[in-house]
Chain A
Amino acid sequence: MTTLTHAPPSAARLRRLLPASAVQAVTWLVVVVGVLLPIVPLLYASVQDRPIYEAGGVFTVSPYRQLFADPAFWQTVRNTLEFATIATGLSVALGGAAAVACSRTDILGRRVWTKLLLLPILLPPLGVILGWNALYGPGGYATNFITRTLHIPLNLTSVIGMSALGTVVAMPVAFLICQASLANVESSLEDAARSVGARPLRVLSRVIVPMMRPALLNSALLIFTLCIESLGIALILGAPAGNEFVASYLYNTWSNASTIDPGAVSAGAMILLLCAVGLLLLRRVLLGSEARFISVTGRGRGSDKLLELGRIWRPILGVVVALYLLITTFAPILALALQSSVSLLTPLEAPWHLWTAGNWRQLGQPVFMSSIRNSVEIAAVGAVLTTAVVALATTVAHRSTFKLRGSLQFIMMFPRSMPGIIVGIGFFWTFVLVNPPGSALRNSIWGIVLALSIRSLTLAYLVLYPALAAVSSSLDDAARSAGAGWWMTMRRVVLPILRPALLASFILLFVSILNDYDPALFLVTPGHEIMGVTMLDSLKQGSTGPAAALAMVQVAVTVVAIVIGTAVLGRRSRRTHA
């Protein structure tokens, strides 16, 4: 071998100019400040005797006292807990059963259901709610048939009725978590039970279900957390009938107050936040830190052997799932489409007699056009920025020697348990207090970009962390030993390997930011509306047609993004990872 004497890497000089630790410190700071930004002013506002933009405020707990003295508040607490309990119980039972059916049995249409059952979390929540309202709400298209002909007491505006919708929306979360945990269980365990003489049903109850217990617990806690912060369902369905949840009560108090006097609202938001944080900590204690990532590690070997249901049950269960999907997802979306194309959706008149393009034509109005444009822009920009920041933060948290890296792992899980209403109110106060650039942010789409990005941070982390964990750390050691510094190792080796995960994160964030709206309710300023906020506004004015048309636009953009995303991801996933 000819000898070739290379000087020690000249990159060392560059590293001294831009030390890796500086990149790491900046990343850490951006994430930590971003997450804490909405919380600190909220906490401060909740213990002040007057709005914090007024001078001379003194410390007081009167906002809390005021809140607790309001009997309406306690009624909303009872409603919320009832809703959360019912929706959690039912959705975990349904999601767990569906996961077993789809990953462990040869149910008819298994592969199709596995994908379609996820639809409710991908579709815009407002669209689903409006669809349900159009179909099963008071005066809905199918309500009369169900209550009069079938004699099923259905009242979507009651807490029980809303719980049914909550169940449907939360079910995919339980389904995903249980499916992932089942994928990690070897089917040989079931084979072993079969070989000692257990019948399929017994295998199910004695082997499969006990093994799913951590996944069931995990999904129950997560869904309960999501339920107590639920805003849209109560806002659209329950509130008009007087059945409010904590979040909708706080929102209505906020927007109906004659003065901007949200001391009590801030206090209520703080209580919601404490509950959410408590549940997050409970999950950590009960499940250990690793369980947090269960929801996305579903990459097990698609179980090879399936329980045979037999000639009778195989089609019957298949039809049951098909009916479930039809009733809960497809029919409401169809009703939504119908509502957007008729002047009035009513069972008393055939829809083709009421056919109109008027609702769609109304979308041409500036406020609708600009909210569509804003939503897509915010989603695209937010998804790119958040993916980039979280990618960097994930490598700092898990692939660096940065001293405070451990705190990042916890902090990135945090926004997921932060109710949207808190992000909204919190950023509202932050923009008021930190000015500039507060009002500049508020008077552009950037304030909303920031709030929605922070809120979706956890989602990006949940996609990127397992992908990073699957990349053997010897790959970065190899780059380091070849002479590359931390930054170059990340840039040239680790992040390029993560490309499919980065793309998946972008698509998911795009969809999630596009369909998110609750923080924006508190932040929106004229000219900077997004679809969700505009939809709620036109609903408030009684124009359900245009709202339905706008919801259909949201559904369409979502579906297109998912289809493109899965197509691109499918083509990319050929290369196997070391």
Chain B
Amino acid sequence: MPEIAVDALSMSFGTNQVLDNVSFTVHEREFLTLLGPSGCGKTTTLMSVAGFLRPDSGRISCGTQAFYDHAAKIYLAAEDRNLGIVFQSYAIWPHMTVFENVAFPLKVRKVKGEPRRRRVMETLGLVEMADYAARYPHELSGGQQQRVALARALVYSPSVLLLDEPFSNLDAKLRERARTWLMGLQRDLGLTTLFVTHDQDEALSLSDRIVVMNKGSILQVGPPEEIYRRPDHRFVAEFLGHCNIFTGHVTHVQDQLATVQLDTTQQRLTLPVGAGAPGDQIDVVVRPEAIILSEDLSQLSQGVNTYRAKVRSRAFLGDHYVYELELAGLPLTVTHPTAFSAAELTVHIPVEACRAMTNHTETTLI
């Protein structure tokens, strides 16, 4: 399977810029996810690759074939791109049986008779739907419809698989199973896959790499762990999981460590720094699960970034507790497996758990 290269894609509806210089590559056999809130341009990007939307400028290619090239005036119709798409609504044709739905792409390609039947049944077997070949779509559950949609997208061995929020119509339990199952299938078949979702859990668990988008632009590209642990933008940090954000300014830098004076309090925070100048206004992101809590007050004097905090509330979430704390007037959310009942706790924020970025700008400081 070839790779998909998207290069400098831009598009606007009237004065509304929906895609702003979007570039990324889906490597061969890779599972790449476009992640972002609704309206961020992820579906617009996917539909541009599919050929249902025509961008204003840029280039999209699949292997050596150009799908769209503004400069060279190339625009390949959707039906000539040989891509497999699973739509959010599944888009199973209601007047055709499961078999006829899956057979349609082969009919278009003039595959006839026994080879067609064999191929359809083989693909239905692959998605574990062979027993349902004679059913009509309305006789299937949501999960089964999704598999039929996938079979229809795979039956002609398309060069790339495009998935537009395929799990959003499934209930929570089924969604998790479908996710595991799809991941297995994708790895087994070695499908080059472009996936669109607004669900961070889906993106983190399925992807080889994630492209985080907002307002038509790409903010960060990388493997799930890197995106989660080392967000480059405040938006990325906030969108993927919960986080605490402090604002403050750098007072001094020494031995690869920066000291930050937090706004509105006397507290200071020490964090790792590559380059940075005293006086810079920055945001510090700390994940709730990275913070260490203790009832032991003696730890208070030891080490940097250790504070006293008042417990405002505690919620039980099954495998952990969520604490809402107040640290010198600043709200702080911490998740921790232990149940503490004290009214005040010792809070330790490990230096390496802090991630700094310049205040309200799109460029990283560190």
Contact = CB atoms under 8 A, between A and B. Distances in A.
B108 A484 contact: yes
A475 B111 CA distance: 22
A472 B91 CA distance: 8
Interface stretch (B29-37, B77-85, B214-222): B77-85
Contacts of A4: 119, 156-157
Given A474-B88, A478-B91, A488-B108, A9 B79 contact: yes
A480 interface: yes
A400 B360 CA distance: 44
Contacts of A11: 79, 108, 110
B109 A6 contact: yes
Highest count of chain B CB atoms <10 Å: which of A3, A6, A576, A577 = A6
Contacts of B108: 9, 11, 482-484, 488
B80 to A, nearest CB: 6
Interface string B88-107: 11111111000000001110
Given A4-B157, A481-B85, A10 B95 contact: no
A256 interface: no
A477 interface: yes
B162 to A, nearest CB: 8
Nearest to B191: A1
Contacts of A496: 95
A195 interface: no
Contacts of B83: 481
A493 B108 CA distance: 12
Contact of B91 (A1, A8, A474): A474
Contacts of B87: 474, 477-478
A482 B126 contact: no
A4 B122 CA distance: 12
B111 to A, nearest CB: 7
Interface of A is mostly: loop
B157 A5 contact: yes
A488 B95 CA distance: 15
B224 interface: no
B157 A3 contact: yes
A6 B157 contact: yes
Nearest to A492: B104
A499 B104 CA distance: 19
Given A9-B79, A480-B52, A484-B104, A497 B94 contact: yes
A492 B122 CA distance: 24
Contact of A481 (B50, B110, B137, B157): B50
Contact of B156 (A6, A477, A493, A576): A6
B79 A577 contact: no
Interface in B96-148: 104-106, 108-111, 119, 122-123, 126, 136-138
**Size range of the chain A interface in the assembly:** 20 to 34
A483 B94 contact: no
Contacts, number: 112
Contact of B111 (A6, A12, A492, A578): A6
A483 B153 CA distance: 11
Highest count of chain B CB atoms <10 Å: which of A2, A477, A485 = A477
B85 A477 contact: yes
A220 to B, nearest CB: 35
Contacts of A7: 109
A483 B91 contact: no
Nearest to B90: A578
Nearest to A481: B85
Contacts of A493: 93
Contact of B78 (A480, A492, A575): A480
A480 B156 contact: no
A472 B189 contact: no
A483 B88 contact: no
Contact of A485 (B51, B77, B81, B88): B77
Interface string B60-91: 00000000000000000111111111011111
Nearest to A6: B109
A575 B126 contact: no
B105 A482 contact: yes
Highest count of chain A CB atoms <10 Å: which of B77, B90, B92, B108 = B108
A8 B82 contact: yes
A291 interface: no
A576 B79 contact: no
B152 interface: yes
A279 interface: no
Contacts of B122: 1-2
Contacts of B105: 482-483
B82 A472 contact: no
Contacts of A576: 94, 138
A390 B90 CA distance: 28
A479 interface: yes
B159 to A, nearest CB: 10
Contacts of B162: 481
Nearest to B110: A10
B109 A575 contact: no
Nearest to A480: B78
A12 B81 CA distance: 11
A481 B109 CA distance: 12
17 contacts: A6-B106, A9-B108, A9-B109, A11-B110, A12-B80, A478-B91, A478-B92, A478-B149, A478-B152, A479-B93, A480-B77, A481-B51, A481-B162, A482-B153, A483-B82, A483-B109, A575-B94
Interface of B: 50-52, 77-85, 87-95, 104-106, 108-111, 119, 122-123, 126, 136-138, 149, 152-154, 156-157, 162, 188-189
8 closest A-B pairs by beta carbon, nearest first, are: A482-B105, A474-B91, A478-B91, A480-B78, A483-B108, A481-B85, A474-B87, A576-B138
